[in-house]
Structure 1
Amino acid sequence: MSRNGGGPRVTRQEWIKYAALLVLAVVAFGVAALALMNPRGVGEPAGLLPSGPVPGPTAYAAAAGAPAPAEATVAGTATAGATVAATAATVPAGQPKIELPARPVLLILGDSYTAGTGAGREDQGWAYDVARTLGYPSNIDGLGGTGFAWGGGAQDDGGREYEVRLREISRDRRFVPNLLILQGGQNDAQLNDPDELKAATAQTIEAARRFWPGIQVVVLGPSAPQPLADTLRGANTAVRAGAALAKAPFIDAYEAPWFTAANSPGFNADGAHPNTAGHAYLAQKFLESWAALTK
C-alpha cells in the first residue's frame, strides 16, 4: 500500500522482521570470522603445534635453523650406529671420562707409532693427524723402541722410558699440558713381565700428574697390524691393568680389534708399523674413542 502517491509503506511488523534479519546476519558473520581464526572449532583453543604427530628434537632444530642434537643424528644413520658400536667395544664400560679444559693443551707421548714411523712422512703419523683434527696447542714426542717400562736399546738399556721423557719435558715451563695421551706397549712386550709393566704404567701416569697437577691422562694400548698383533695380548693386559690402577681411561685397540687379518695387508708398512693409510686409520679410530671419553 502507498500513501499520497509515494513509495511503498513499511509497516511496523515489517520493520521488526528486517531488524531481526540484520541481527542474524551480524551473528553469522561473527561465527564465520571466529572459525577462520581457529580451524580447530569454535569452542576449542588454538594451539602452537600443527596437527598430527608432535615433531621430535631433530624436526624442531631444523625448523629453527639449528643443528640437530647428536643423539638424533646418530639414531638416524646406520653408519653412525655402527661407529658407536665400534667405539663402545674400544672403550670398555665404566671407564673414567675426560672433562675437557676451557683451553686444552695436548701432549702425545709414545713410541715409533707416535713418531710416525711407517708413514710416507712423519707428519702423516696418527698422532699428527689427531693433533691437527683436535686443533689444540700440541707437542708430539715419539721415540722408537721405547715404552712404559722398556727404555730402548737392544737390552732395555737406553734409559728412555716414558716417565724419564715426561720429566724432561716438564722442565720446560713454556709448555704446560693439561691433556696427555700415552701410547704404547708394543716394545714392552719384550719384557715378558706383566707385573713390572703394570706397575710401570701406573707409575708413569702418576708421575705425569705430579709434573703437571690437574693433567688428565688417556692411555692408548698397544696395536699393530697382523700377525704382530697376535704377540701383544700379554702387554695389552698389563698396560690396561696399570691404567686401571691409576684410574686413567684406557683405549683398547687390541681387544677391539682395530687391526684384523682382513684389513692388515692394506695397512702394513714393514711388518711392524702401519703405513700412511694405517696411520690415518689409527687416527680415525682414536678420535672415535676420544669422542666417547670426553665430555
Structure 2
Amino acid sequence: MTRIGGGLNLTKQEWIKYGALFLLAVAAFGVAGIALTNPRAPGEAVSPLTASSPVATATPTPTATATPAPTATATAQQLKIQLPAQPVLLILGDSYTAGDGADRPGQGWAYLVADALGYPTNIDGEGGTGFAWGGGPQDSGAREYEIRLREAAADPRFVPNVLILQGGQNDALITSPDEIQTATVQTIEAARRLWPGVQVVVLGPSAPQPLAEELKGANSAVRAGAAAAGAPFIDAYETGWFTGANSPGFDFDGAHPNTAGHAHLAEKFLESWATLTQ
C-alpha cells in the first residue's frame, strides 16, 4: 500500500484481503455481543465469579442492600432483660417518679409499679432533674441521674440488680440532642460499673397534651442513648400514652399527671414490662 497526497491506492487483491478481514471482525463482535447478553444456556449451572472477572467488579453483591441497618427505635424495642432469680429494684427519675401530681406520693406510678411487681424496691425521684439536666432554673443543681446513682451506690445495704431510669422531660430544656444522648449512655454505663450485672430499662419522657408535643426531640435523644448503650427503651411518647383525648382526665397542672394519670402510667408501664421480661 502506498500513501500519496493523503489518499489510499489499493490493488484489487488488497481490497479483497481487507474486506475479508473486516467481515471476520464483524462476526467476532457479533459472537461477543451474544455471549454478553446470554452468558449461559437455560439450565446451565452458574459459575462463581472470580476476583479477576470484570463482571465481579461491576455488579454489586446481593447482600449489599438486602438488609437495611436497624434504626435506634427498632434496636431498643427488640432488646429484653433477663430477670435475676431474686430481683432487687431501683427506680430513679424526676418528679414523675417522686409522685408529683398524685393525691399522695404512694399513688405515683413508680410506687404502683413497685407494689405490682413485689420486688424489694427503692424509689428515688427528684423534681427538675434528668439525664443531662442537673436541676435548678439554670441547670446548676448538679443532680443529674449519674450523680444520684453514685450516691445510691454508696449505701452498701441496698444493691439493686434491676434499674429503671425514668425521664427526659427536663432534658427537653437542653438544646443539644447530642448532649442528652451522651448523658443517657454515660448514665447507663455508670450504673453497670456501680452494680455489675444490673439489668437497665429506660422509660422515656411523657406528659399530658399539649406539653407532650414539646418532648419529641428529648425523647429521640434519650431513645438513641438507650440504644447505643444496649438498654431496652420504653417509648411512652411514640406509642401515645397521653393523647388529646385522654389528657384532660389525666392532667394535674399541665406538666404532671394527676392520680388517675399516674395509675395510667403504671398500667402502661407494666404492659411494656411484661414484653421485656418474657
- Structure 2 segments unaligned to the other structure (5+ residues): 1-72
**Deviation at residue 96 of structure 1 after TM alignment:** 1.3
Letter paired with 1:199 = T
Select which of 214, 218, 221 maps to 1:238.
221
**Residues 89, 122 of structure 2: 8 Å contact kept:** yes
Give the counterpart of 1:290 among 270, 273, 276.
273
- Selected match of 1:144 from 127, 133, 137: 127
Instruction: State the AA in 1 paired with 2:85.
Output: A
Aligned partners of 1:117 and 1:93: how far apart in 2? 28
Q: 2:189 aligns with which of 202, 206, 214?
A: 206
User: Structure 1 residues 117 and 222, CA, compared in 2 at 3 Å: closer, same or farther?
Assistant: same
Alignment of 1:1-295 (within 5 A): 95-295=78-278
Say whether the 8 Å CA contact 1:202–1:243 is kept in structure 2.
Answer: yes
**CA–CA distance in 2 between the matches of 1:161 and 1:268?**
26
Amino acid at match of 1:293: L
SS of residue in 2 equivalent to 1:232:
helix
1:114–1:141 CA contact under 8 A, matched in 2: yes
TM-score relative to the length of structure 2: 0.73
Secondary structure of 2:102's counterpart equals coil
SS in 2 for 1:181: strand
Residues 233 and 254, structure 1, Cα contact 8 Å, conserved in 2: yes
Secondary structure at the aligned position of 1:196 is classed as: helix
- 8 Å CA contact 2:76, 2:226 repeated in 1: no
Q: Percent identity over the alignment? A: 76
C-alpha separation in 2, matches of 1:241 and 1:92 = 9
String of CA shifts for 1:195-250, please: whole Å, max 9, x gaps. 00000000000000000000000000000000000000000000000000000000
Listed one character per residue, the Cα deviations across residues 72-98 of structure 1 (whole Å, up to 9, x for unaligned) are xxxxxxxxxxxxxxxxxx997752111
5+ residue gaps, structure 1: 1-89
- Which residue does 1:77 correspond to in 2? none
TM-score if structure 1 supplies the norm length? 0.69
- Tell me how large the CA RMSD over aligned residues is: 1.3
C-alpha offsets along residues 5-31 of structure 1, whole Å, 9 cap, x if unaligned?
A: xxxxxxxxxxxxxxxxxxxxxxxxxxx
Q: Count matched residues.
A: 206
Q: How far apart are residue 168 of structure 1 and its match?
A: 0.4
Mapped contact 2:77–2:234 kept (Cα < 8 A): no
> What's the secondary structure of 1:180's corresponding residue?
strand
Deviation at 1:192, TM superposition (A): 1.2
AA of the residue aligned to 1:268 = D
